[in-house]
Every structure is written in structure tokens, then in C-alpha cells.
């Protein structure tokens, strides 16, 4: 492939004029952007730039939720999926249900060793287990000595792919009723594909269940917490909100496979697993071992949102299964329990500890409320059946919880008959926000930088809830997350920001993908069992989120918003807290050029420029995680204007302190 290096050739405006390109400044001079700092407009929502979390691409189990043992409770439909005989032939193991630990956790495994050689089973994790040299891992399990067995000792051993021990621990003294046992394992070496073996060291039988290997270090040290490197990447976005748990996963292929948040706020051992809808959604990326353990459940989502200072934004089933699948409908006379789920969720998040669900929150460790302000009704639903169900939710939610803003869907597509129909209907109702989705090529994002300039200024606001520029082919996986795609998103986001009066929230989607187990691309962050990196789109999100300012101000070229003239896109805000004017300019042209920026106020001192520029085909990777990433430099400014060179294919943020 021929790489086009970012060029520093500066084309004079006169030449551009000859080429028939509109010239934004004086003929012969650089394009001029006029920032109307004295005309602050709408506030930029504090929560404006958030993240969309869905358990797709092994984002939860195998990703952000750092449990190393897959199928830890033997509750997958194939109870021994991910489990194998470990070593030795002197014994057997079997799945059993008699005398299981609880009615919600109905299966366990009996390991029977004939002795004297060790005999046992092993778990292969999520395409292996990531372990770091010298790091501590908490091993735990529910166990009981099988009836009639002699006392036995259990060795838990971390092994590399050749079966060599990386670390081990020994547990003994098992009683004849179910109890939890635990210890700490340390790995002698770093390995991304380790496995966990359980051996009985002498003749006897042991019943085991809920076998867990969890890193001792989690994000913010939370018990049952999150994988710290991935969580930190998310925290570094300074997200204004966290939308969870999806996406299509909310809806389910059939209604009984929908995401039921109540199932996820039980004791860990009692959270019933559910097939992940991405298990077999795409046959070209089938993942037969993809289930939801709900170890990362609604309590953990709320806790994470709080830990990173983001608003929680849960989306619930509205009684319609995914319309790309069955489209199964809960009849209107049976919609009550779905609405009750929403009411109960508000109680779980905000209710007093004396209420049923407030008490559940407190029992899980958080007596204080989570201050839920948003709730989503349905994901990508469409048609009159959605409007009818949405109305029923709205009527009850507005009456009982006017303080909580309702988010409605607008279907899966950014335009078309269904989209127009939904907006027409929703304008007559009272959702606070309408969730629009757009997965489109980079050209669409460039063409739609002015999408919201003409939107009605009254009625529901917009939640740009799922978007990503799709360049290249699905089979390219991580190679689809190019700078070309990210730059077109940046151009589009200038349009979101310019219209911050009606676009109140925005999130890229999907968020996370396991390099060895993904179903969908592109994604914001890729990871393996130990490492993670942000794509160019990740850094675009980060740049906008960290520079969102407090109020929009117009930025004009020849009296017009800058929405693609000469390949330039721009938005501007003032940051009243920092006392700065912040101008974002995207240059999609394949050449560098100067722009003059008139700030409307004199700079009080030098500013900062934050620049992203690269070859459009460039991607980040584990080997080069910051190949496309922002760099920051001092921005000298004297007076109320500056001239700045914009590199080819670049996003530049200019932050200037003003009086
Ligand atoms: O982000 C991936 C999927 O795209 C989401 O689950 C769904 O809402 C959309 O179709």
C-alpha cells in the first residue's frame, strides 16, 4: 500500500479560487474564521460526551469484567464448556444437580480422584487468561467434600499453554456443606493465554461451583470490580454519561431473552446467565461460548458511572424484542410489568433504603442514592407498536417521576420513512431526548456536519446515541478503525457542538472489542487479555470531551458556519470556568494550510494547541497504541487574532485564555 504522508504543502487561496473552491478569507490570504466570542449561545450539556456500553465483542465477560474463569458456575447450556480434564487418568469428573448450592445455581461438578496421582480439571478462560508477573489473583470457589469422601486437598494452579506451572495455592479442610474458600495466587510470569487447573492431590471427591479467579487490583479497588486498564481508558474520556447495557442486547431476540436488570442485582452466585445475543447473531463471527454472567450487572454499572463522575443512562426493554430478529411484542394488556421494571429501577437507583429496591441497593453496598436522571425506553424500535408502548411508559413515568428525563428511540436508521414517522409522533409526546443512530461511511459524516443546523428548536432534544464512521470491510476488524473514519467523526461532531442547544448527549458505538473474539467493527477501544488501546476515534472523543467548554459561540467564515467549505469544519465554545475560547477546526484536505482565527477578544497569555494529524489509513494497534493520538503544544497568541497552520487531514483545537 502506498502511504500518503501528511504533507506540509500550503496552497494559497488564489490557487484554490482558480480550482473553483470557495475561498473563506480575503483573496490571497488564508481562510479567516471569525469567532463571535461576545455572542455566547446555548450551554454545552455537562454530560454531552459520554460512552455507550454494550456487551458485544466480549466487552463485559472477557473484557471490562475481569473474571478469568469462563462458565464459572457450570450454568452454560453445555455445562462443561471451557472446562477440560486437566491431567492424570486416575479419576473422573461429572456435572451434577443433586444438592446444588441454590435453586438459581443448579449445577456443579464433582471431581473424583482415585489417587495417589493428582487428578483434576482446567478452565481455558476467555481465549486464555491474562496474568501479569507477580500480580495477585484471588482464587475462590464454593466447595464441599462429596458424601462419603475422605478429606481432600485442592491445588489451584495457573499454567501456561504447555501446562507448566506459573503459580499455585493449596486449599484443604473442606466441610460437607457448601462453603466459600479462597486464597491468593501469584503468577511467576506474564502470559496472555494462561489457564487454571484444579487438582485433587489424593484419593477423594470434591464438589465445586462458582470457581473464580479475579485480579486483586480492580478499578478504584472495587470488590467484584472492573479491569483497571480498560476502565482507566474510559475514565480518561471524562465521560459525561454511561449508557448501558446496550444496544440490541436490551431487546433480546425474543422477549424472554431480553436484558432483565433485576436478574443482575442478586448475589453473584445467583445471577442467572443468559445467552448473549451476539453469540450467534452473525454467522461469519459466531461465538458459541458467548454468554452473559451478569457479574457486571446494573449495580456495577451505576457504581462505575459514579466512580468516573458520569451520569448513569440505563436503557430498558419496552416490550418489543429486536425487530431485526423476531420483533415479538408484549401485548398492550401485558405491558404493566415492563413499566414496573422502569419504576423499580428508579427506586433501585434513587429510592430510600427503606424501599424494596433501595434496600437492595444498600445491601449491595451503596446506601446513598445514585441520582439517576435519565431512563431510556427501548433501543432501536420502530413503527406504531413502538409509539403505542412508548406512550404507555411515558404516561406513568412522567406522572410518577417527572424529575427523570425519558429517552425514546428513533429506530436504527438516521433517515427514511420510519425515522420521519417516529419523529413526527414523538414531537407530539414528551420524551426529553430522542436517540438517533448512524453507522455510515465517512462521507456521510462529512455531508452531515450541518445535519442539525436546520432541526426545529422546540420539542425533544437529540441524543446522538450510537454512531461510528464505517470505513472498509467488516472482515478488516481493528483495521477499520482508521484515522479517515475518526476525522470524519470529528467533522461531524463540530456540527453536534454547534447545535448543542438541541444535541444534548452523544456517544460513539460500540465501545469495546476483544481482538480475538469480536463480532462487530469498528469499535472505540480494542483489547486482548492484558492490554488495551484507543483507536483514533477514541482520541477524537477524548479531545472533544475534554474541550467541551461551557457555552457555544458562533464561528463563521464569510458569515456562514464552517461546514465543509474548502474541506474545513469548525465549532467554537467558551470555557467560562477556564476563561478560555476554544476553537476546533478539522481540515479534511490532503494538504496543509494556514487559517486566520479572529477571537473577538485579546489573549491574556499564550494558549495551547491540541493537534491530531495522520495518514487517513493509519490505525492504532497494541504495538503502536498512540500512532494516531493528540499532541499538545504551546500556542503563541498576541492580540485578538492568530494564524495557524492546519496540517493535512487534521483536527486542531486552539485554547486561548482571554479576558
Ligand atoms: O452498536 C452495535 C449495535 O448497533 C447496537 O447493539 C444496536 O443498537 C445497533 O444496531
Q: Please, which pLDDT band fits residue 12 given cuts at 50, 70 and 90?
A: very low
Cβ–Cβ under 8 Å, residues 521 and 72: no
pLDDT score of 22? 47
Rounded average pLDDT over 444-471: 97
Cβ 246 under 6 angstroms from ligand 1: yes
Q: How confident is the model at residue 5 (pLDDT cuts 50, 70, 90)?
A: very low
Q: Give the mean model confidence (pLDDT) for residues 282-289.
A: 93
**Which residue's alpha carbon is at the smallest distance from atom 5 of ligand 1?**
247
Higher pLDDT, 33 or 22: 33
150: in domain: yes
CB 654 within 8 A of CB 607: yes
The tens digit of pLDDT for each residue in 148-172 reads 999 999 999 999 999 999 999 999 9
pLDDT at residue 7 greater than cutoff 90: no
Residue 513 CA to ligand 1 centre (angstroms): 13
Atom of ligand 1 nearest to the CA of 468: 1
Residue 209 near ligand 1, beta carbon < 6 Å? no
Scan for cell 463480532, then name that residue.
Answer: 519
Residue 651 sits in the same domain as residue 559: yes
pLDDT of res. 11: 42
- Tell me: the pLDDT tens digits for 392-412? 999 999 999 999 999 999 999
Q: Residue 599 and residue 585: Cα distance in Å, rounded? A: 14
Task: Give the residue from 219, 192, 205 showing the smallest Cα distance to 112.
Answer: 205
Q: Indicate the helix (H) or strand (E) that contains 391.
A: helix 384-400
Q: Which ligand 1 atom sits nearest the alpha carbon of residue 52?
A: 1
In the reported structure, the alpha carbon of residue 535 is separated from the centroid of ligand 1 by a whole-number distance in angstroms of 19
72 belongs to a structural domain: no
Q: What is the dihedral of CA 55, 449, 592, 590, to 10 degrees?
A: 70
Chosen domain end from 215, 250, 270: 215
Q: Which helix (H) or strand (E) holds 159?
A: strand 154-159
* Arithmetic mean of pLDDT, 523-542: 98
For residue 192, give the nearest of 517, 625, 523, 624 by alpha carbon. 517
List the residue whose alpha carbon is closest to atom 6 of ligand 1: 247
Atom nearest to 510 CA in ligand 1: 1
Q: Is the CB of 379 under 6 A from ligand 1?
A: yes
How far does the chain reach from its first CA to its final CA, in angstroms? 49
Is a pLDDT exceeding 90 seen at residue 475? Answer: no
Residues across the chain: 659
Going by alpha carbons, the residue nearest to atom 3 of ligand 1 is 247
pLDDT at 322: 97
Nearest to 310 by CA among 66, 53, 88, 57: 53
Task: Measure the CA–CA gap between 390 and 657, rounded to whole angstroms.
Answer: 46
Residue 90 and residue 209 in one domain: yes
Q: Is the CB of 381 under 6 A from ligand 1?
A: no
Pocket probe mutation, ligand 1, options 251, 322, 510, 522, max atoms within 8 Å of Cβ: 510
Q: Are residues 28 and 96 in the same domain?
A: no
Q: How far is CA 68 from CA 127, 130, 185, in A?
A: 10, 8, 13
Strand partners of residue 159: 165, 195
> Residue 298: is its pLDDT beyond 50?
yes
Q: How confident is the model at residue 8 (pLDDT cuts 50, 70, 90)?
A: very low
User: Is the model's pLDDT at 545 over the cut of 70?
Assistant: yes
Q: Give yes or no: residues 568 and 619 share one domain.
A: yes
E-state strands within 593-659: 593-598, 607-613, 631-635, 641-646, 650-657
Q: How many Å apart are CA 66 and CA 555, to the nearest integer?
A: 45
Distance of alpha carbon 47 from its chain centroid, rounded? 15
CA 247 – CA 277 distance, rounded (Å): 11
Which of 313, 294, 298 is CA-nearest to residue 261?
Answer: 298
Using DSSP's 3-state secondary structure scheme, residue 13 falls into: helix
Write the CA distances from 563 to 41, 425, 445, 571, integer angstroms: 18, 30, 11, 9
Average pLDDT over residues 179-204: 97
CB within 8 Å of 429: residues ≥ 6 apart: 387, 390, 391, 394, 408
Closest among 276, 285, 627 to 473, alpha carbons compared: 285
Most distant pair of Cα atoms in the chain: their distance: 95
The string of DSSP letters for 108-127 reads EEEEEE-SSS-EEEEE-BTT
Return the pLDDT at 233: 98
Q: Which atom of ligand 1 is nearest to the CA of 412?
A: 10
Grid cell of 575 as nine digits: 470555557
Query: What is the CATH classification number for the domain harbouring 171?
Result: 2.60.120.260
- Look at residue 24 in the predicted model and tell me its pLDDT: 65
Domain identity same for 115 and 17: no
Q: Is 510 in the pocket of ligand 1 (CB under 6 A)?
A: yes
Q: Which residue from 408, 439, 470 has its CB within 8 A of the most atoms of ligand 1, so it is best to mutate? A: 439
Look at residues 169, 192, 215 and tell me which one is the last residue of a structural domain: 215
| Band of pLDDT at residue 87, cut at 50, 70 and 90 | confident
Residue 274 Cα, ligand 1 centroid: separation in angstroms?
Answer: 18
Q: Are strands 433-440 and 461-469 parallel, antiparallel or unpaired?
A: parallel
Q: Which of 194, 215, 236 is the last residue of a domain?
A: 215
- Give per-residue pLDDT as tens, 429-457: 999 999 999 999 999 999 999 999 999 99
**So what's the pLDDT on residue 627?**
98
Find the CATH number of the domain harbouring 639: 2.60.40.1180
Is 100 in the same domain as 36? no
Residue 485 binned pLDDT confidence (cut-offs 50, 70, 90): very high
**Same structural domain for residues 39 and 95?**
no
- At residue 111, does pLDDT exceed 70? yes
Nearest-atom number in ligand 1 for the CA of 439 is: 4
CA of 519 to the centre of ligand 1 (A): 11
**Res 451: pLDDT:** 98
pLDDT digits (tens, 9 = 90+) for 316-326: 999 999 999 99
Quick check: is 517 in a domain?
no
Which of 613, 612, 598, 595 minimizes the C-alpha distance to 656?
598
- Of the residues 243, 247, 276, 463, which should be mutated to test ligand 1's pocket, given the most ligand atoms within 8 Å of the CB? 247
In a domain, 488, yes or no: no
Whether 471 is in a domain gets the answer no
Per residue in 604-654, pLDDT (tens digit) is 999 999 999 999 999 999 999 999 999 999 999 999 999 999 999 999 999
Q: Tell whether 393 is covered by a domain.
A: no
Same domain membership, residue 101 and residue 193: yes
Model pLDDT, residue 474: 80
Which structural domain, as residue segments, surrounds residue 17? Answer: 13-45+552-657
Q: What is the mean pLDDT of the chain?
A: 95
> What does the pLDDT average to over 530-536?
98
3-state DSSP: the chain helix, strand, coil percent, rounded to 5?
20, 30, 45
What predicted TM-score, i.e. pTM, was given to this entire model?
A: 0.95
Do 31 and 144 have their domain in common? no
Active site (catalytic) residues: 380
The residue whose CA has the least distance to atom 2 of ligand 1 is 510
**Pair (107, 185) in one structural domain:** yes
How far apart, in whole angstroms, are the C-alpha atoms of residue 188 and residue 131?
9
Q: Where are the beta strands (DSSP E) in 237-388?
A: 241-244, 274-275, 291-292, 311-316, 374-377
Choose one of 278, 466, 469, 474 to mutate for the ligand 1 pocket test, by most ligand atoms within 8 angstroms of C-beta. 466
Instruction: Provide the domain count of the chain.
Output: 2
What value does the mean pLDDT take over residues 524-550?
Answer: 98
CA distances from 530 to 71, 319, 402, 527 (A): 20, 38, 44, 7
In a domain, 78, yes or no: no
Residues 525 and 538: their CA atoms lie apart, in Å, by 7
Whether 639 is in a domain gets the answer yes
The answer to whether residues 94 and 209 belong to one domain is: yes
Looking at residue 25, its pLDDT comes to: 57
Q: Residue 400: which of 319, 311, 316, 339 has the closest Cα?
A: 339
247 lines ligand 1 (CB under 6 A): yes
Top pLDDT among 12 and 487 is at 487
Amino acid at each position: 500500500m502506498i502511504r500518503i504522508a501528511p504533507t506540509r504543502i500550503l496552497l494559497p487561496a488564489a490557487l484554490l479560487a482558480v480550482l473553483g473552491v470557495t475561498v473563506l478569507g480575503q483573496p490571497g490570504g488564508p481562510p479567516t474564521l471569525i469567532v463571535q466570542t461576545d455572542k455566547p449561545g446555548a450551554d454545552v450539556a455537562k454530560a454531552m460526551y459520554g460512552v455507550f456500553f454494550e456487551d458485544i465483542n466480549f466487552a463485559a465477560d472477557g473484557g471490562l469484567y475481569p473474571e478469568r474463569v469462563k462458565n464459572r458456575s457450570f450454568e452454560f447450556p453445555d455445562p462443561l464448556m471451557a472446562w477440560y480434564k486437566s491431567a492424570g487418568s486416575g479419576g473422573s469428573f461429572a456435572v451434577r444437580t443433586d444438592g446444588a448450592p441454590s435453586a438459581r445455581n443448579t449445577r456443579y461438578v464433582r471431581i473424583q480422584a482415585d489417587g495417589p496421582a493428582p487428578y483434576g480439571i482446567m478452565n481455558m478462560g476467555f481465549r486464555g487468561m491474562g496474568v501479569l508477573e507477580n500480580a495477585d489473583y484471588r482464587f475462590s470457589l464454593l466447595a464441599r467434600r462429596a458424601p462419603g469422601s475422605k478429606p481432600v486437598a485442592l491445588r489451584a494452579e495457573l499454567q501456561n499453554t504447555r501446562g507448566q506451572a506459573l503459580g499455585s495455592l493449596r486449599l484443604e479442610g473442606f466441610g460437607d456443606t457448601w462453603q466459600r474458600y479462597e486464597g491468593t495466587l501469584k503468577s511467576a510470569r506474564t502470559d496472555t493465554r494462561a489457564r487454571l487447573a484444579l487438582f485433587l492431590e489424593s484419593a477423594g471427591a470434591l464438589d465445586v461451583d462458582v470457581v473464580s479467579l479475579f485480579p486483586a487490583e480492580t478499578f478504584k479497588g472495587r470488590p467484584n470490580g472492573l479491569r483497571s486498564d480498560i476502565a482507566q481508558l474510559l475514565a480518561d474520556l471524562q465521560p459525561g454519561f454511561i449508557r448501558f447495557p446496550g444496544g440490541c442486547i436490551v431487546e433480546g431476540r425474543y422477549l424472554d431473552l431480553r436484558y432483565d436488570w433485576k436478574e443482575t442485582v442478586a448475589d453473584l452466585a445467583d445471577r442467572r446467565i443468559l445467552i448473549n445475543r451476539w453469540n450467534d447473531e452473525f454467522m461469519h463471527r459466531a461465538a458459541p461460548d458467548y454468554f452473559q454472567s451478569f457479574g457486571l450487572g446494573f449495580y456495577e454499572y451505576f457504581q462505575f458511572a459514579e466512580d468516573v463522575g458520569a451520569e448513569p443512562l440505563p436503557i430498558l426493554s419496552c416490550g418489543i424484542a429486536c425487530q431485526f430478529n423476531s420483533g415479538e411484542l408484549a401485548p398492550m394488556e401485558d405491558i404493566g410489568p415492563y413499566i414496573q421494571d422502569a419504576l423499580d429501577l428508579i427506586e433501585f437507583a434513587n429510592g430510600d433504603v427503606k424501599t424494596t429496591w433501595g434496600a437492595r441497593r444498600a445491601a449491595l453496598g451503596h446506601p446513598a442514592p445514585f441520582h439517576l436522571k435519565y431512563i431510556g425506553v427501548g433501543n432501536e424500535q420502530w413503527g406504531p407498536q413502538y409509539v403505542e408502548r412508548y406512550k404507555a411508559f411515558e404516561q406513568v413515568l412522567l406522572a410518577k417521576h417527572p424529575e427523570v428525563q425519558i429517552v425514546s428511540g428513533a429506530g436504527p436508521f438516521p433517515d427514511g420513512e420510519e425515522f420521519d414517522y417516529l419523529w413526527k409522533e414523538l414531537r407530539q409526546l414528551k420524551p426529553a431526548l430522542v436517540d438517533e443512530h448512524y453507522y455510515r461511511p465517512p462521507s456521510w459524516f462529512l455531508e452531515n456536519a450541518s445535519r442539525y443546523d436546520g432541526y426545529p428548536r422546540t420539542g425533544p432534544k437529540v441524543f446522538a446515541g450510537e454512531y461510528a464512521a464505517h470505513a472498509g470491510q467488516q472482515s478488516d476488524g481493528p483495521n477499520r478503525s482508521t484515522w479517515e473514519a475518526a476525522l470524519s467523526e470529528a467533522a461531524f461532531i463540530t456540527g453536534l457542538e454547534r447545535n448543542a442547544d438541541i444535541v444534548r448527549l452523544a456517544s460513539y458505538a460500540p465501545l469495546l472489542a476483544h481482538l480475538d473474539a469480536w463480532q462487530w467493527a469498528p469499535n472505540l477501544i480494542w483489547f486482548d487479555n492484558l492490554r488495551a488501546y484507543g483507536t483514533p476515534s477514541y482520541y477524537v472523543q477524548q479531545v472533544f470531551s475534554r474541550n467541551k467548554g461551557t457555552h457555544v459561540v458562533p464561528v463563521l467564515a464569510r458569515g456562514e458556519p464552517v461546514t465543509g467549505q474548502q474541506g474545513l469544519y469548525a465549532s467554537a465554545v467558551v470555557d467560562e470556568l477556564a476563561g478560555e475560547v476554544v476553537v476546533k477546526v478539522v481540515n479534511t484536505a490532503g494538504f496543509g494550510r494556514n487559517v486566520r482565527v479572529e477571537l473577538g477578544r485579546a489573549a491574556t497569555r499564550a494558549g495551547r494547541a491540541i493537534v491530531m494529524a495522520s495518514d487517513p489509513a493509519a490505525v492504532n494497534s497494541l504495538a503502536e497504541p498512540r500512532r494516531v493520538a493528540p499532541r499538545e503544544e504551546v500556542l503563541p497568541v498576541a492580540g485578538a487574532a492568530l494564524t495557524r497552520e492546519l496540517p493535512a487531514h487534521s483536527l486542531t483545537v486552539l485554547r486561548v485564555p482571554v479576558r
